[in-house]
Amino acid sequence: MFQRGARFIFSRASSTAAAPAKNCNKKLYAGAASVVGASGAAAYMTQQRPDKTLCDDLTAGLTGAAAGMILGGLGGYYFTSSTLSPKVEKYEKYWPRKCMMLFGAPGAGKGTQGPRIVDELGIPQLSTGDMLRGAVAAGTPTGKKAKDVMARGELVSDDIVVGIIEERIKDPDCATGFILDGFPRNLEQAKALDAMLAKTGDTVSKVLAFEVDAQLLEERICGRWMDKASGRSYHVKFAPPKTMKLGPDGKPIAGTMKDDISGDALFQRPDDTAEALKKRLKEYEDKTVPILKYYGPRGVVKMINGGQDIKKVWSDVSTSLV
């Protein structure tokens, strides 16, 4: 349904985040090996030249250290490449896949906390809302079907979103797990998810449910600005971009709303209005909330107080990850 290359754009935050997490130990081993190599080489060079001055010894020591770092680094890399890859492969093959879900009303904080979980766990965040917005912007057949439904704040048909997720979780960056954001949205989607996970022996391992008082949501939604490529969320009051400047009316000047990382212009979603929010909240209450009862008996649901400030919410989220 979506082009392979484009899928990476549609994951919130970086879908390559898995790589640094896996490579981290490799770098540590290589670094440790270079330090050992450097010290050894420096000691050797100094010992070989007892008749030389202190300055000569230092030069020799530094040269030795540099050579040792290169040799040690290469040795460390070779050592870890040959010993770590099979371990990663075993991990991917035998350990339970982390199939996590972010659950909460529009504006509850899923898009804000998600990228932090991505950084922490090194698995991608899959936002059906971002994927559908990408399809609308690209004018694909799916986008054409979804555009008006989304603008009205209604749910897109199940077969479209189930198809998108089923394809996406086959990608290699989902091998050890993924974080669902905005999916499933009703019981039918939850059952379809269970069926697709069962095909690979997987199951939903955690549902993080953000509880936020409905009165807070309108201010959050109407003040939200987003980065199209990454899905990063900003807020004029609670999480302003560094570049934001206010006009004489106290409202942000659109041209100053830029993503902190890429510098790209931020945008406001057409459905982030008080009017569309009413409809979205009704859909959420009627169709999405029953999912919690469905997953509850499995003991995988963690409730998070999403009404606190962003840092406090993250502190609670991070302790719920273990």
The binding track of 32-71 with respect to ligand ADP, each residue x by CB under 6 A or -, is ----------------------------------------
Among the candidate windows 20-28, 137-145, 229-237, 297-305, which touches ligand ADP by CB under 6 A? 229-237
Q: Applying CB under 6 A, which part among 34-42, 88-96, 154-162, 292-300 lies near ligand ADP?
A: 154-162
Query: Does the protein bind ligand ADP through residue 313 (CB under 6 A)?
Result: yes
Nearer residue to ligand ADP within complex by CB, 97 or 185: 185
Examine residue 11 and tell whether it contacts ligand ADP (CB under 6 A).
no
Task: Give catalytic status of residue 27 as yes or no.
Answer: no
Give the C-alpha separation, 173 to 135, whole Å. 21
Q: How many residues bind ligand ADP (CB under 6 A)?
A: 35
Among this protein's residues, is 269 annotated catalytic? yes
In the complex, what is the shortest distance from the CB of residue 268 to ligand ADP, in angstroms, rounded to a whole number?
10
CA dist., res. 3 & res. 125, Å (int): 18
Q: Does residue number 155 form part of the binding site for ligand ADP (CB under 6 A)?
A: yes
Q: Is 280 among the residues known to form the active site? A: yes
List the one residue from 60, 150, 192, 301 that touches ligand ADP (CB under 6 A).
Answer: 150
**Nearest 10 degrees: Cα torsion 7, 11, 15, 18:** -120
CB 33 within 8 A of CB 52: no
- Out of 185, 220, 232, 258, the active site residue is 185
Q: Is 224 in the site for ligand ADP (CB under 6 A)?
A: yes
Active-site residue 133, yes or no?
no
Evaluate the CA torsion angle 40, 43, 47, 49 in order and state its sign.
Answer: positive
Considering only residues 2, 178, 183, 295, which one is a binding residue for ligand ADP as defined by CB under 6 A? 183
Half-sphere exposure of 154 (CA within 13 A, CB side): 9
Q: What angle do CA 134, 139, 140 make, to 5 degrees?
A: 85
Distance in Å, CB of 300 to ligand ADP, minimum: 19
Task: Pick out residues in 233-292 that bind ligand ADP (CB under 6 A).
Answer: 233-235, 238-239, 271, 280
309 binds ligand ADP (CB under 6 A): yes
Q: Which residues contact 149 (CB under 8 A, 6 or more apart)?
A: 155, 156
Bridge-based pairing of strands 233-235 and 224-226 is antiparallel
Per CB under 6 A, does 12 bind ligand ADP?
no
Q: Which of 13, 33, 60, 156 binds ligand ADP (CB under 6 A)?
A: 156
Cα distance from N-terminal residue to C-terminal residue, the chain: 34
Residues that bind ligand ADP (CB under 6 A): 104, 106-112, 128-129, 132, 149-150, 153-156, 161, 182-183, 185, 189, 220, 223-224, 233-235, 238-239, 271, 280, 309-310, 313
Task: Kindly list the catalytic residues.
Answer: 110, 185, 224, 269, 280
